[in-house]
Chains A and B, each alone.
Chain A
Amino acid sequence: MLGTGTGDGLQLESLKLMRLFNLDEVSLRELNQALHDCNGSDEASAWTVTNTKGKHAVAAGIDAPLEVTVNGHVGYYCAGMNKQGQVTIRGNAGPGVAENMMSGLVRVTGNASQYAGASAHGGLLVIEGNAGSRCGISMKGVDIVVRGSIGHMGAFMAQKGRMVICGDAGGALGDSLYEARIFVKGEVAGLGADCVEKPMAEEHEREVAQLLEQAGISGVDAAGFRRYGSARKLYHFNIDNVDAY
């Protein structure tokens, strides 16, 4: 049932703005429609979603500064195409969390499956656990911070934006990379086509520190990260690079 959260000692004003959606009692459609009814509004409000039980497309398509807390694990495409929304998933996220995000913040307190942040154009995606394969695939401007490790083919064909991996990265990292930049603290199993290690200057360390702070990740020293980017050798089709294609 769609209702108003009570019993937490919240102030009246907060109560008016608090919305609680129990997905055992209301449908996903009703939740998303209620969120979309706020689209275009500047008004911030707090929402809580419970009993998600792996449902797909939870809180997809937000376009307002809503603070949405999702208590539980979610399936595919949670917070898909998010704009402005501040979505926290207290659990694990299935494939494609925050896919094509435009702005705002999506935080996963657990692990994220494959394609996290796929083709996202902006905003910040924070994964406090580990992420699966193809994290940041085709990313187009988003910042992604992963507290743990990521699987293989991270940042595949990534175009713009930054990715900070505090743990290890799987094989073929940054394959066919364009202008996205990658920072890894741990081990990299292997680099993909046209991805190379680049010098880590002080300015880059400051950049990593700033991203970690923005992501609310503490206890990780910005020193010791390594930087990866595109060698830009595949930017123009050249038969001499045929072995790389």
Chain B
Amino acid sequence: MPEKDITEWLRESATFPRAVIADIQRAARTGIYDIRGFGAKRALPTFDDLVFLGASMTRYPLEGYRERCDTSVTLGTRYAKKPLELKIPVTIAGMSFGALSAPAKEALGRGATEVGTSTTTGDGGMTPEEREHSELLVYQLLPSRYGMNPDDLRRADAIEVVVGQGAKPGGGGMLLGQKISARVAEMRDLPEGIDQRSASRHPDWTGPDDLAIKIRELREITDWEKPVYIKIGASRTYFDTMLAVKAGADVIVVDGMQGGTAATQEVFIEHVGIPTLPAVRLAVEALKEMDMHRKVQLIVSGGIRSGADVAKALALGADAVSIGVAALIALGDNSPEFEEEYRRLGTSAGFYDDYQDGRDPTGISTQSDELAARFDPVKGGRRLANYLRVLTLETQTLARACGKNHVHNMEPEDLAALTIEAAAMAKVPLAGTDWIPGEDRPKSK
């Protein structure tokens, strides 16, 4: 008879569960806080707390697989001479060469290009591989300015001024020395093998008034051709969105706290920022208040996993979404194929989050030539393209069910909330009621 697991009858503390005890023990042992990749792992209010009200007697659905449901998106219509024309409302978020291997960056470009969307550089500059394989490439201007140069600025299709990211609004970055290979070091003008800080503030502007001038400089240098995005980590989203509009953004990217990172303190990932669900609603409110909704486009990111998430973000008013962690998983991150090696690293497929560590067995978040060589960018690109197609098909399915012939025609009125929290955050009624917490009068019947 097998021995009984004694933890079945022992009482675990709700205040000090095993994971908390293990973390205290780790801190006491190492004297260093935990730095890791991935995004927030704690349970948060998400798009899962919303449902669509499909067509019935009062709404007329579209025929699946027959009646067209458009998914095209144009980004950068406010000032740019050459806005980006995307075929699908899902883009690839900024992830650096340095955090990711060169073949992984190439695969992101291949996958995005195959389905007609854009990919984004990241902290550390633009690599020839990603430019070559990305039909549409957004070039990030980050506080560190690693690898920033006017040639790549002109080679880019759009420019994204990164003010913050959802995993760490208000925080900079740290790429640990084991990932600073000779090539990464050269691109960043730093010695090989040292820990390198990515600053939390830009070096040459300090507030929205300065940023407006900075953006005009970027436009001057690129002859007003490129759309300029401003990316913000979701925190004071309503006011940040307004200030980004005032600073002259063509596109605003709002990254919720579920957004991924390559290396951030665990305490930052789990305790700073607000979830994507309220962030999208706050950003849309700000745009509408300024009569800029759809004039300045809104991209929402942070924990987008499925076509349902995409559709709900769009229904709340976003123009597109962006994916990071989900794109890496589509490439092969956390694949059970590497379970044995994950075990040797003290983890398991489905739990791996040590993107900062450089020993990723999949060859994705590493600078080891040996590990990176395992990753096939052609196959990875195809997997990503497949995943992006599924996201798009799922989004269309939900839009058609609501009777919409363009994914942008979905609206908050198509949604109901399953929890009081989601109703309050998204400002859609609690299912079966007219109640939106915080609002005096019912919005709909």
Residues of A within 8 A of B (CB): 28-29, 32-33, 36, 56-57, 60-61, 63, 75-77, 80-81, 83, 95-96, 99-100, 102, 115, 118-119, 121, 134, 137-138, 140-141, 156-157, 159-160, 176, 178-179, 235-237, 239
Q: Bound state CA distance, A100 and B153, in angstroms? A: 12
Find out whether the CB atom of A57 lies under 8 angstroms from the CB atom of B217. yes
Find out whether the CB atom of B203 lies under 8 angstroms from the CB atom of A119. yes
- Which single member of B32, B150, B174, B191 contacts A179 (CB below 8 Å)? B191
- Interface: B182 (CB within 8 A): no
Contacts A75-B213, A77-B217, A119-B203 given; indicate if A138 touches B191 (C-beta within 8 A).
no
Residues on A with beta carbons closer than 8 Å to the beta carbon of B31? 239
Which B156-213 residues sit within 8 Å CB-CB of chain A?
174, 176-177, 188-191, 194-195, 197, 199, 203-205, 210, 213
Residues on A with beta carbons closer than 8 Å to the beta carbon of B217? 56-57, 60, 76-77, 80, 96
5 A-B pairs with the lowest CB-CB distances in the bound complex, closest first: A61-B221, A119-B145, A96-B204, A235-B194, A140-B189
- Interface: B238 (CB within 8 A): no
Find out whether the CB atom of A33 lies under 8 angstroms from the CB atom of B223. yes
- Interface: B295 (CB within 8 A): no
Residues on A with beta carbons closer than 8 Å to the beta carbon of B195? 235-237
Find out whether the CB atom of B150 lies under 8 angstroms from the CB atom of A81. yes
Which residue in chain A gives the minimum CB-CB distance to B30? A239
Find out whether the CB atom of A157 lies under 8 angstroms from the CB atom of B223. no
Residues on B with beta carbons closer than 8 Å to the beta carbon of A178? 190-191, 194
Q: Bound state CA distance, A139 and B191, in angstroms? A: 14
Which residue in chain B gives the minimum CB-CB distance to A179? B191
Which B29-52 residues sit within 8 Å CB-CB of chain A?
30-32
Residues on B with beta carbons closer than 8 Å to the beta carbon of A75? 213
Q: Bound state CA distance, A193 and B384, in angstroms? A: 44
Residues of B within 8 A of A (CB): 30-32, 144-145, 148-151, 153, 174, 176-177, 188-191, 194-195, 197, 199, 203-205, 210, 213-214, 216-217, 220-224
A184 to chain B, nearest CB (A): 21
A137 to chain B, nearest CB (A): 4
Q: Bound state CA distance, A167 and B133, in angstroms? A: 50
Find out whether the CB atom of B149 lies under 8 angstroms from the CB atom of A100. yes
Q: Bound state CA distance, A235 and B194, in angstroms? A: 5
Find out whether the CB atom of A32 lies under 8 angstroms from the CB atom of B194. no
- Which single member of A32, A60, A99, A157 contacts B197 (CB below 8 Å)? A157
Find out whether the CB atom of B194 lies under 8 angstroms from the CB atom of A236. yes
Q: Could you say which of B31, B148, B188, B217 has the most chain A C-beta atoms within 10 Å of its C-beta?
A: B217
Residues on A with beta carbons closer than 8 Å to the beta carbon of B145? 100, 118-119, 138, 140
Find out whether the CB atom of B149 lies under 8 angstroms from the CB atom of A134. no
- Which single member of B32, B189, B191, B203 contacts A115 (CB below 8 Å)? B203
Find out whether the CB atom of B220 lies under 8 angstroms from the CB atom of A102. no
Residues on A with beta carbons closer than 8 Å to the beta carbon of B144? 138
Contacts A76-B213, A119-B145, A178-B191 given; indicate if A57 touches B204 (C-beta within 8 A).
no
Find out whether the CB atom of A159 lies under 8 angstroms from the CB atom of B197. no
Find out whether the CB atom of A118 lies under 8 angstroms from the CB atom of B203. yes
Q: Bound state CA distance, A82 and B199, in angstroms? A: 23
Residues on B with beta carbons closer than 8 Å to the beta carbon of A102? 149-150
Find out whether the CB atom of A137 lies under 8 angstroms from the CB atom of B203. yes
A35 to chain B, nearest CB (A): 10
Residues on B with beta carbons closer than 8 Å to the beta carbon of A140? 145, 189
Find out whether the CB atom of B150 lies under 8 angstroms from the CB atom of A63. yes
Q: Could you say which of A29, A81, A179 has the most chain B C-beta atoms within 10 Å of its C-beta?
A: A81
Contacts A76-B213, A138-B199, A239-B32 given; indicate if A100 touches B148 (C-beta within 8 A).
yes
Q: Bound state CA distance, A136 and B30, in angstroms? A: 36
Q: Bound state CA distance, A61 and B221, in angstroms? A: 5
Find out whether the CB atom of A77 lies under 8 angstroms from the CB atom of B32. no
A11 to chain B, nearest CB (A): 32
Q: Bound state CA distance, A160 and B196, in angstroms? A: 14
Contacts A56-B217, A61-B150, A138-B203 given; indicate if A160 touches B189 (C-beta within 8 A).
yes
Residues on B with beta carbons closer than 8 Å to the beta carbon of A77? 204, 213-214, 217
Q: Could you say which of A33, A60, A102 has the most chain B C-beta atoms within 10 Å of its C-beta?
A: A60
Residues on B with beta carbons closer than 8 Å to the beta carbon of A76? 210, 213-214, 217
Q: Bound state CA distance, A179 and B185, in angstroms? A: 12
Find out whether the CB atom of B220 lies under 8 angstroms from the CB atom of A57. yes
Contacts A77-B213, A121-B149, A235-B194 given; indicate if A28 touches B220 (C-beta within 8 A).
yes
Q: Could you say which of B145, B197, B205, B216 has the most chain A C-beta atoms within 10 Å of its C-beta?
A: B145
